[in-house]
Structure 1
């Protein structure tokens, strides 16, 4: 089902990580509109509801009103101006989130045609950890993986060795600590 190509490699790692930490009996709110990864999660037995496509920087009502036990956020926080606000609004006690990592040899992604498809943040792993901890999350497990390409050049070679994606499983600190 998966090949070692983008986005299949990313999807494979994401599903494997999720299976290690989240039981299929737990309902998931996935931040962002329905997408191929949410379909893959459903095919693995997960119950997944996606947000409707509202601007989460402005309106977090779907997150605040969710009764889901787990929130997933796969490559979405880099698109938000204020990921802290979204992280604080989550009512679920479990979070699985992944980000594309900031690469020292590559500038931040910016679409020239889609104003919504831009990265306001590209985190290093420690920066994302700090953001999660400040928003009241305790990091339980993490993983990283590379995103090699078959292109020729210095940057494509560096992509074979430099982790591009970072994924975190976190649990909310007890209410008395937040």
Structure 2
């Protein structure tokens, strides 16, 4: 099922990290609308509820009304203007989140046709760590991986050994 291509490598790494961090069956609030990865989590034995497409910079109602044990946020925080506020609003004590890392050799991602598909932030690992800590989370585990592309050139070569994705498991500070 998983190959070394997008999004399969990312899905493989993400589900392995999630299963190593969170026991089943856990009740998960997955930030973002239902998608192929939230369906994969359900297939793997998690009880998954998604947010409804609301603007998570402004509307925390689904987060505040959720009784989930765990919140997952896979490539969500870079799309928010103020991810700190969303991180503070989470009631669950456990968080698994991934982000695309800032690449010094490539500009931030910006869709020219979809206003929601833009990156307001592309973090370095230390920046995301600080954001989580300031929002009241303690990182318990993390990982990062590359995303090589099958193209020729300097940027594709750099992508073969420069980490592109960063994932963390964090718990709410007591």
Aligned to 2:92: 92
**Alignment deviations for residues 63-86 of structure 1 (CA, whole Å, 9 cap, x no partner):** 011100000000000000010000
> How much does 1:25 deviate?
1.8
Corresponding residue SS for 1:164: strand
Distance in 2 (alpha carbons) for counterparts of 1:40 and 1:2 = 12
- Number of matched pairs: 174
The whole-number CA distance in structure 2 between the counterparts of 1:54 and 1:24 is 28
Structure 2 alignment gaps of length 5 or more: none
CA distance in 2, matches of 1:164, 1:90: 26
Equivalent in the alignment of 1:26: 26
**Alpha-carbon shift at residue 24 of structure 1 (Å):** 1.3
Match of 2:167 in 1: 167
Give the match for residue 43 of structure 2. Answer: 43
Supply the distance in 1 between the matched residues of 2:92 and 2:115 (Cα, whole angstroms): 30
**1:120: Cα distance to partner?**
0.2
Between the aligned partners of 2:133 and 2:60, the Cα distance in structure 1 is 20
* Structure 1 CA distance for aligned equivalents of residues 13 and 76 of structure 2: 17
Q: Which residue of 2 aligns with 1:116?
A: 116
Large movers: runs of 4+ above 2 Å: none
Deviation of 1:137 after TM superposition, in Å, equals 0.1
TM-score by length of 1: 0.97
The answer as to 2:73 corresponding to 1:73 is: yes
The answer as to 2:158 corresponding to 1:158 is: yes
Shift of 1:88: 0.1
Counterpart for residue 135 of structure 2: 135
Q: State the distance in 2 between where 1:67 and 1:167 align.
A: 23
Q: Aligned partners of 2:21, 2:120: CA distance in 1, in Å?
A: 29
Alpha-carbon distance, 1:31 to partner: 0.1
Kindly report the root-mean-square deviation, in angstroms, between the aligned alpha carbons of the 2 structures.
Answer: 0.5
Distance 1:91 1:11 in 2: 26
For 2:101 and 2:58, how far apart are their aligned partners in 1? 25
Task: Write the distance in 2 (CA, Å) between the matches of 1:24 and 1:152.
Answer: 42
